[in-house]
Structure 1
Amino acid sequence: MSYDINLVIERIKSFHEKPLPPEERWYGVGAVFRRLADLPDDFPLRLQINHGPYIEDGPLAFYDNSPLPVLVCRKSLEGFHSRRPGKIAFSCGTAQVWYRRLNDIQLAEDAAGTLAFPCHSTHHIEAVFDHSAYAKHLLELPDHLQPVTVCMYWIDILSGYHQHYIDMGIPVVSAGHMADPLFLSNFYGNLRRHRYTTGNEMGTHAILSIEMGIPYFHSGSLPYYEDRTGGDPDFTTQYNHDYQGSRPMAWRFLGLLPKVDSCLEITDELKSFVSYLHGADEALDRIALRRFIVEAYLMATPAARIALNDVWGDRQLQSRLGLASSGSEGSVPVTVLPGQDH
């Protein structure tokens, strides 16, 4: 069955017309951590979640300004994201990487060409660059990187930017709206069909491509960003192209990436660096993850805690939720699972 971008756009519009759901349902990440924690599909998540692998080691106001507990993608971020008094963070790897590994998603046997990810806008910023010029640049890539397909973010599709690529004869795909529960399935369905990936800005796509064993190379001119928020302090200072001066991790990442005119391979150093960024190769205690999620819910929902008081002495219940004390009767032994094995 051929890919119909018009049907994809209609589905994007159907989600865009509805109110944005709770944060844990963005990009389908909440479902991944419920599965990792062996919790029911409808268990409420009363916490924040890193929506992808963050490149820099540092704080983000989006997390600092919320009192909710937060799941972060690697241990180096725990301290930065728990600076607010009373706020706690738990590192558990990147949801997208776990999704791929749990579902054993691999490169398709007939994978070919390059999947390009133009830098995308968000609710808070507008990524500004000449899409027609970037389309021309993609068409001029060497023959062994052709054909090129472009993967567009839903906001830029609604802005009509995808049409620049279609007008140049480049196929366009999308993972869909951020609220679409099929977002991750769509993303990896597109990704696995290509031998290479590229983009004109550092981002999640590069990390996820390399983690899957697909070489990524940077291409095209960097965009600049316009503030869409009218001065929201959470977001106006977060985007800076001064890689060497203020984004040292991105600068290192850029230096490790292969160049388009060189052998496009993933070196051991690049693979190790990407592993550090996504955090899914750090040992994960899945029982501790379950305990963190459940306790975050109880902390945010006093009525639920009161309701459980009557059965709190039930050791089977405590064991099921991963809340029994270590070494006590009925407690669940802690099992540490190395991420690379899953």
Structure 2
Amino acid sequence: MLNRIKKSVLGSKALSSIYFLVIKLRNRGEVKEIERRKHTPLFNYKELARPLNLYPYFNIKDNNLYGIGKVFQEAGLELDIDNCLIEHGLILGDLVQKHNHASYVPKIVTFSEYRRHKLRKKLIQKEVSCVGPYIKYANTILKEEDIAALRNSLGKTLVVFPSHSNDVTIVDFNSNDFIKKICEIAVDYDSVIICMYWKDIELGRAEEYIKKGFKVTCAGHIYDRYFLDRLKTIILLSDFTMSNNVGTHIGYCICLGKGHFLFRQNLAVDHGLNLNEANQRDKTDWDTYNFDVEIISKCFINNFNVNPSLEQIEIVSKYWGDIS
């Protein structure tokens, strides 16, 4: 019965309510676990990365990812969260995901006017609202005085975001080259924090960073409603940030006043048997995606300024929206 409802849930508000009510009842124990993890120490990465089942606080699945709906609700944004679909992060190129078309909601919420233009070309029947980088609306997982004390104990800190896998896609890169570059930059820092995605911790990839003496943390599972709050806290611990792929994190770092260095690497992406993920972009989508990646990358390759440059602020404002 539930599977039959699931097939129609995107196009029907009534069926969506029924479906997510059943999921709430089935997974109600996750609420207690999510609240418990709110108090888990930042460097207890294995605990923070443990899988969670979806507890749908909102009746649009996307609005539950990374705690985005919670963040908007607490920030007092005037959005009817059960009647809009919030894009989960930075989506480059012309791609408009199929569930955006199929969803009953009349509104899509995204980062920037640039992205709004892309969406409007394919979703002419839907309203599109731009709110800028979501991280600016988040709270922190720690109190201000606790962040200050932790920063003091860490000293000058480099926070690193490795390119990550997810629940349907495995991403590989030359970790030896990446760690070598981290070590080169870390000469000027007292501490290095590797902020890893939950899936890569699950795959056992934290150990090679631990062996180098780096600290490892995790913003949480995709269904952890304190993900963005925790991520904001992690970024605020930094004096400088770096990564090896263009992603949402870059704009979030700049939004929070942290400079960012991009170390470009070749990535091997394995979608397994998930053809929907593998085929979600056509040639035009890929061409426009690669174009956007190159434009953004130029602003962050070979950049070692601890404060964001005017050029970086301008490019983030274009793709991520208003950072003020």
| TM-score normalised to structure 2 length | 0.71
1:85 is displaced (CA, Å) by 5.8
Q: Does 1:222 align with 2:266?
A: yes
Structure 1 segment 1-342 matched on structure 2, within 5 A: 3=41, 5-6=43-44, 8-13=45-50, 16-19=51-54, 21=56, 22-37=61-76, 45-54=82-91, 56-67=92-103, 68=105, 69-82=107-120, 83-84=122-123, 86-99=125-138, 108=148, 110=152, 112-141=156-185, 143-219=187-263, 221-232=265-276, 234-236=277-279, 238=281, 246-257=289-300, 259=302, 263-281=305-323, 340=324
For residue 89 of structure 2, what is the amino acid of its counterpart?
G
% identity of equivalent residues: 19
1:172 is paired with a residue of what secondary structure? strand
CA-atom RMSD in angstroms:
3.5
The CA distance in 2 between the partners of 1:243 and 1:147, in whole Å, is 37
Question: What SS is found at the alignment partner of 1:31?
Answer: helix
Unmatched runs of 5 consecutive residues or more in structure 2:
1-38
Letter paired with 1:251? E
SS in 1 for 2:138: helix
Uncovered stretches (5+) of structure 1, i.e. residues with no partner: 282-339
SS of equivalent residue, structure 2 residue 71: helix
Q: In structure 1, the residue corresponding to 2:213 is in which secondary structure?
A: coil
What amino acid sits opposite 1:155 in the alignment? K
The residue number in structure 2 matching 1:327 is none
Larger radius of gyration: 1
Q: Which has the higher helix share?
A: 2
Does the 8 Å CA contact 2:93/2:286 hold for their aligned counterparts? Answer: no
Instruction: Report how many aligned residue pairs link the two structures.
Output: 272
TM-score by length of 1: 0.68
- How far apart in 2 are the matches of 1:239 and 1:200? 25
Q: Distance in 2 between matches of 1:45 and 1:243?
A: 31
Q: Quick one: distance in 1 between partners of 2:81 and 2:87?
A: 17
Quote the Cα distance in structure 2 between the aligned partners of 1:94 and 1:216: 16
Question: Displacement, 1:217?
Answer: 0.3
Q: Sort the Cα spacing of 1:223 and 1:35 in 2 relative to 1 into closer, same or farther, 3 A.
A: same
CA distance 1:170–1:36, change in 2 (3 Å): closer
Q: How far apart in 2 are the matches of 1:74 and 1:216? A: 20
Cα distance 1:20–1:154, how it changes in 2: closer, same or farther (>3 A)? farther
